Structure 1
Amino acid sequence: MRIFAPLMCVAVLTWPAAATAQGYISRLLNKPVPGGVAVVALGQAPQAPRAFLDDNRVMVLRDSDQQWIAVVGIDLKTPKGKQTLTVQDATGSRQTGFNVGSKDYKAQHITLKNKSQVNPDPEQTRRFEREYKEQIQAYSQYREVIPSNVSLDKPVNGRLSSPFGLRRFFNGEERNAHSGLDFAVPQGTPIKAPADGVVTIVADYFFNGKTVFVDHGQGFISMYCHLSEFMVKKGDEVKRGQVIAKVGATGRATGPHLHWNISLNNARVDPAIFINAFKP
């Protein structure tokens, strides 16, 4: 996809009644709630515009109705109301709005025997901070490559257990909300890449345990953690359906399962949206 080079410095503010795309991707992915995805119509120009939410570049694709769309990840902490998307094309720069609705997420209480995974000591905290920085850097990457698919395969076949967005309490203490989707599957279950991509992280982290990140292009990143075994290394190009790891119980886990994250424009969003399992 060719992107326009120098852009005219013309700022135009527009607030249409959020143009609604009607193509296949829009019908599949448009779930504009905190932790969800907004699909915003950008018109039918010959070439792709660029789109930004705050400082983060947003995925832009041509939908089945031939309209350009922005596929926007909405952070879980985003308040209800209008958000602003900046769009750049050959005519200059403009702003368009989209509305974020509301969604209630349930609470989950988990008891851990290893107290350090609730309140790490100073050395463990420093380790976590280093690891967190590395992960945030991977989430913030934007490659121009168009994702091979955004309707994803499940990385494993199994029961969905802990859903995205749960308010989590470990040993009675509230921590960050659940940023992924858990699959309850046995130890050693093969995990398959749900789309083509490049492996950007293969590491053993304090909380996540053994972890793999795959960059699918245009800020579309998937993460797999609590693994027992790696089947890839950093820098590998993987294809949809390729086995990248095996399920385990490493890190902060009470038993074998796969924790699967999806990130768009550096916002963690509900993976259930991409496998047609989203529940309003």
Structure 2
Amino acid sequence: MLRIVSAIAVLAIAAAAAAGERVEFSGENTQGGLMVGHAPAGAEVTVDGRAVSVSPDGLFAFGIGRDAEGPVTVAVAAGGEVTRHRLEVRQREYDVQRIDGLPPSKVSPSAEDLARIRDEQALINRARGRDLARSGFAQEWLWPVTGIITGVYGSQRVLNGKPRRPHYGVDVAADKGTPVRAPAAGIVALAHPDMYFSGHTVILDHGHGVTSTLIHMSEMHVEAGDEVARGEVIGAVGATGRATGPHLHWGVNWFDTRLDPALLVPPMSELVD
């Protein structure tokens, strides 16, 4: 499995781009993949016609959605010329998961709860809508917690017999209190102690619209505005919000595009016996 490039690899890409005025890409060009690109310094970049931020040294990022058909067209304007890069998108098949026995109020929220959910979603959207000039997304990512994977990206959940939206993230079962670490460096964009669905919720901003969402925690050790390093403990595994047992849900976004965290890290089987 391809991984997002490490900091050393990013430096190599930057050097190659500067020397040969080339555009380089790394990442998984598949549904749910995060792509990291490097263009000549000062370039302007669009992805399928959407302008994206480019760092002074040419670093940029974009995501590919769960149901994207592709191809993705990246246009780079530099030195008075425009080059276009066509990236095919590999298609995936998704699992169906059934979860029964949830309290009816958690499957079909009341009108009062729906109002709360809308307010909380607005906070989440605001945290994911930022576009900070940071490059934590270009680091080598790590699992925020290790354990048994109980939920995978893209799967369709059926709760108490009722189909719901796809599962946008990875669930990792672990003992309550197990430390949760930042998967990449970033700024805490949101730290909420009691969201309806997700309980203790932390959103980390890794730069250029790339965020991590870590939920259901029993404890949070960060506040909004805190800067965290890759691997820093930010909380502990729990079962707050709508959860049937202690686990961590980890989601990754590029703005409002939901990505697959498992594509960014080594297979869990390499880390857990």
Could you state the TM-score of these two structures normalised by the residue count of structure 2? 0.80
The question of whether the paired residues in 2 share the 8 Å contact of 1:57 and 1:265 is answered with no
1:137 aligned counterpart, secondary structure: helix
The question of whether the paired residues in 2 share the 8 Å contact of 1:57 and 1:142 is answered with no
Provide the C-alpha distance between the structure 1 equivalents of 2:268 and 2:59, rounded to a whole number of angstroms.
21
Greater per-residue helix proportion: 2
Q: Does 1:32 align with 2:21?
A: no
Could you state the TM-score of these two structures normalised by the residue count of structure 1? 0.78
Q: CA deviation at 1:96?
A: 3.7
The question of whether the paired residues in 1 share the 8 Å contact of 2:43 and 2:76 is answered with no
The aligned residue for residue 233 of structure 2 is 243
Same amino acid, percent of matched pairs: 33
The question of whether the paired residues in 2 share the 8 Å contact of 1:60 and 1:71 is answered with no
* Structure 2: gaps of 5 or more residues: 1-21
Written as runs of structure 1 = structure 2, the 5 A alignment for 1:44-123 is 45-53=40-48, 55=50, 57=52, 70-78=60-68, 80-91=69-80, 95-123=84-112
Q: CA deviation at 1:183?
A: 0.8
Provide the C-alpha distance between the structure 2 equivalents of 1:176 and 1:59, rounded to a whole number of angstroms.
32
The question of whether the paired residues in 1 share the 8 Å contact of 2:41 and 2:56 is answered with no
Show CA shifts across 1:83-132 (max 9, x none).
Answer: 33343445266654322121000100011431111111111111111111
The aligned residue for residue 12 of structure 2 is none
Show CA shifts across 1:55-82 (max 9, x none).
Answer: 46367797xxxxx67542111132x232
Bigger mean CA deviation after superposition, 123-132 or 142-151: 142-151
Q: What's the Cα RMSD here?
A: 2.7
Show CA shifts across 1:8-46 (max 9, x none).
Answer: xxxxxxxxxxx994xxx72xx2x2222223456x65x34
Please point out which of 93, 106, 113 is paired with 1:124: 113
The question of whether the paired residues in 2 share the 8 Å contact of 1:182 and 1:260 is answered with yes
The aligned residue for residue 210 of structure 1 is 200
Count of aligned pairs between the two proteins: 247
1:141 partner letter? R
2:212 partner letter? S
Provide the C-alpha distance between the structure 2 equivalents of 1:267 and 1:123, rounded to a whole number of angstroms.
28
Written as runs of structure 1 = structure 2, the 5 A alignment for 1:1-280 is 21=24, 26=26, 29=27, 31-38=28-35, 45-53=40-48, 55=50, 57=52, 70-78=60-68, 80-91=69-80, 95-147=84-136, 149-203=138-192, 204-277=194-267
Kindly tell me: are residues 205 and 81 of structure 1, through their superposed partners in 2, closer, same or farther at Cα, counting changes over 3 Å? Answer: same
